[in-house]
Amino acid sequence: MPNRATGGTQTRFGVAGIVVDFSVVPNGGALVEGCLPDIAVDLSIVQVNFHSLTALQQSMATVRQALGAAPAGLCIEFVVVDNESGHPTEVLADQPDVRVVANPGNPGFAAACNLGLDLARGTWVLLLNPDTWVPKDALRTALTSAAREVPAGAAVFGCRQRSDTGALAESSYPPETWPGPWPLLLGLPGLARIAPLRWRRSKDPASRLARHNHTHDTAAVQGSFLLLPRLFLARLGRLDPDFFLYFEELDWCARIGRRGHRIVHLADVEIEHTGAGGPIAPERRQQYYASELLFIRKHRGRLAALVVLLLRQFTAWTPGWLAHLAGGTLRLDADEMRAALRGTLATRVRAALGFGRRPHSRAMPLRTQRSHPPQPDKT
């Protein structure tokens, strides 16, 4: 744990705390509120608000309650990035530990997280969804466990998560669970029996959840609770803003892992995540499939993205009985799929093959115009 010292915060990494000039806010956002004095901060909690103020306030309340048993002198700050949802400064103005940054529009979840990361000044930074509840001692345990792992090369930490029904949700993702052609093809008759054991286990819900019972290294963790030391941000980079919603943390973890850093799932830390494991709202399906194709294009290649696109197309337009013969796991709601894959096939193929290119990524045209506010069910 960081120890406070005169002139700054001395961490166990031997790096002095950094003072951030909040008079200049990157990425075009406007700093509209913030009362914390220029003091050393131990933990910055970054939360994105998009029409979820009530859930955000409840999440903040659970964090403050959880820190009631934390070591004396632990200083936290909330960095709230508001994406075009009314700028709730009047509600948060009397909370000295909160800073609100108002984006002029809705640049997406990943872009908002990046703005929060740039403004965070804590020794540790936690990306926390607004639809999460943090139980007593969870943050203290997370910081203590993470501090033990950092000297051994760990850079990013996730935790166990339960839905609001109490069911354990998946929050650790080895590579075989990542989207791509294989997870879809394994649903075809006969292929599941000849697939490698690790691929078969990746389709079994019990096997997928069993690894959550012990702390382990993994390839990616759920982004609704993502903890890291702030001084690592320079080498870890940022989330890819092309991911407007969904798959942004999976992409970030994949890039972090390729740089040789460990990603650790903490089994001794558990939170409640209202949106964990639940179905994706129909109005967000299009964005989900667009982000899925972007991830596959970046990490599996163009051919894999094209194969997945054609498989999705097959499930949307073939008769139900034929899709059933081809494998139940391929079959999704046809109406939702058709809506998500609207447009000409040629347009979608060109987008799948061109995803992720810089400086003008073709991911942009496939974004939904705006995410719908009813349910904060980001995975």
CATH number of the structural domain spanning residue 126: 3.90.550.10
Domain holding 65, by residue range, is 3-164+214-273
pLDDT mean over 188-214 = 69
Q: Structural domain tally of the chain?
A: 2
pLDDT mean over 307-311 = 82
pLDDT mean over 338-361 = 48
pTM: 0.78
pLDDT at 74 (0 to 100): 76
pLDDT at 311 (0 to 100): 78
pLDDT at 367 (0 to 100): 41
Write the pLDDT tens digit of every residue in 311-332. Answer: 777 766 655 544 454 444 444 4
pLDDT at 105 (0 to 100): 81
Is residue 77 included in any domain, yes or no? yes
Asked which of 223, 243, 273 is the last residue of a domain, the reply is 273
pLDDT band per the 50, 70, 90 thresholds, residue 90: low
Asked which of 225, 245, 273 is the last residue of a domain, the reply is 273
Write the pLDDT tens digit of every residue in 232-271. Answer: 998 899 999 988 889 999 999 999 999 999 999 999 999 9
Q: Both 342 and 223 in a single domain?
A: no
pLDDT at 164 (0 to 100): 86
Listed range (184-188, 241-245, 361-365) with the worst mean pLDDT: 361-365
Q: What is the mean pLDDT of the chain?
A: 74
SS (H, E, C) the chain: CCEEECCEEECCCCCCCCCCCCCCCHHHCEEEEECCCCCCEEEEEEEEECCCHHHHHHHHHHHHHHHHHCCCCCCEEEEEEEECCCCCHHHHCCCCCEEEEEECCCCCHHHHHHHHHHHCCEEEEEEECCCEECCCCHHHHHHHHHHHHHHHCEEEEEEEEECCCCCEECCECCHHHCCCHHHHHCCCCCHHHHCCHHHHHHCCHHHHHHHHHCCEEECCECCCEEEEEHHHHHHHCCCCCCCCCCCHHHHHHHHHHHCCCEEEEEEEEEEEECCCCCCCCHHHHHHHHHHHHHHHHHHCCHHHHHHHHHHHHHHHHCCHHHHHHCCHHHCCCHHHHHHHCCCCHHHHHHHHHHCCCCCCCCCHHHCCCCCCCCCCCCC
Q: Both 140 and 49 in a single domain?
A: yes
pLDDT at 7 (0 to 100): 34
Asked which of 223, 245, 273 is the last residue of a domain, the reply is 273
Q: Both 49 and 113 in a single domain?
A: yes
